[in-house]
């Protein structure tokens, strides 16, 4: 990267590097270098951990009423590959990613590549300047998302979270279709699936339609990568 490009990136991320080699390395995809040790993969590994620590600490301090499970759900959403990719694209970092021949057409399509760049930049800042600059960078870009992590989301309103995702990323809103019901009238179980546009997500069973819809929304969130890790517990 030339000096002008590096300065442009520093302006975007709000941090000036002492060692600009770190910044260059943060944007070097493995397909663009002869030796993978020269790529951003190791930085991506470190950045993922730094991001998780910062997000966990902020959630712990900002939401004292959240139980462990609530914190885990919020953290899973915030550090997911999809959220990282969104933050990276909002900053325009994906435009500077260095990729090998044959990968260029994938640059704008792959959320994983964009997410990796964000994590690599976090690590580069951390190595160059320490924890506080890395934390400041993360909070500048994640604070609006953290503020949206309200009780409704953290306590399992998966339908609300899926609705917000669809409004932002899809032209179609989630539709909940009843597939089956079993049992006597006083003790029925219901099977529901979520459909967004023409995509059918995994169905779920519940002891009432509301529970089945929430669990079906959770399945969709997991399949979309909006939530990751252990399946959160639905709460009434």
Each residue of 17-34: pLDDT tens digit?
999 999 999 999 888 778
Asked if 207 contacts 218 with a C-beta cutoff of 8 angstroms, the reply is no
**Residues 6+ away with beta carbon under 8 Å from 81:** 111, 112, 115, 225, 228
Looking at residue 148, its pLDDT comes to 77
pLDDT of residue 173 exceeding 50: yes
**Residues 6+ away with beta carbon under 8 Å from 202:** 193, 216, 219, 220, 223
Looking at residue 162, its pLDDT comes to 87
Looking at residue 164, its pLDDT comes to 78
pLDDT of residue 234 exceeding 60: no
pLDDT confidence of 157, banded at 50, 70, 90? confident
Looking at residue 169, its pLDDT comes to 77
Give me the domains of the chain, ranges plus CATH numbers: 3-149 (1.10.1520.10), 156-224 (3.30.160.20)
pLDDT of residue 3 exceeding 80: yes
Q: Residue 158 has what DSSP assignment? A: H
Asked if 174 contacts 217 with a C-beta cutoff of 8 angstroms, the reply is yes
pLDDT confidence of 108, banded at 50, 70, 90? very low
Its pTM stands at 0.68
191 is annotated as an active-site residue: no
128 is annotated as an active-site residue: no
CA distance 165 to 105: 25
CA distance 97 to 120: 11
Looking at residue 153, its pLDDT comes to 53
Asked if 192 contacts 176 with a C-beta cutoff of 8 angstroms, the reply is yes
Could you give the maximum distance between any two Cα atoms of the chain, in Å?
72
Report which listed range, 36-40, 83-87, 118-122, is most confident.
118-122
pLDDT confidence of 154, banded at 50, 70, 90? very low
Active-site position among 48, 70, 128, 193? 48
Active-site position among 119, 128, 193, 213? 119
Asked if 109 contacts 11 with a C-beta cutoff of 8 angstroms, the reply is no
Looking at residue 151, its pLDDT comes to 47
């Amino acid at each position: 990267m030339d000096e002008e490009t590096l300065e442009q990136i520093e302006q975007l991320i709000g941090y000036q590097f002492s060692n600009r080699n770190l910044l260059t390395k943060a944007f070097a995809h493995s397909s663009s270098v002869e030796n993978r040790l020269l790529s951003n993969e190791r930085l991506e590994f470190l950045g993922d951990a730094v991001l998780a620590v910062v997000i966990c600490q902020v959630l712990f301090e900002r939401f004292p009423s959240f139980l462990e499970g609530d914190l885990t759900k919020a953290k899973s959403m915030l550090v997911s590959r999809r959220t990282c990719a969104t933050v990276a694209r909002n900053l325009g970092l994906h435009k500077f990613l260095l990729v090998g021949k044959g990968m260029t057409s994938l640059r704008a399509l792959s959320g994983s590549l964009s997410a990796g760049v964000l994590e690599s930049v976090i690590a580069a800042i951390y190595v160059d300047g320490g924890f506080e600059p890395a934390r400041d960078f993360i909070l500048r870009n994640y604070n609006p998302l953290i503020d949206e992590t309200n009780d409704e989301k953290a306590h399992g309103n998966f339908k609300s979270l899926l609705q917000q995702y669809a409004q932002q990323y899809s032209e179609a809103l989630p539709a909940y279709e009843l597939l089956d019901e079993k049992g006597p009238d006083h003790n029925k179980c219901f099977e529901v699936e979520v459909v967004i546009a023409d995509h059918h997500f995994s169905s779920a069973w519940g002891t009432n339609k509301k529970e089945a819809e929430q669990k079906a929304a959770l399945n969709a969130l997991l399949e979309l990568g909006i939530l990751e890790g252990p399946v959160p517990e639905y709460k009434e």
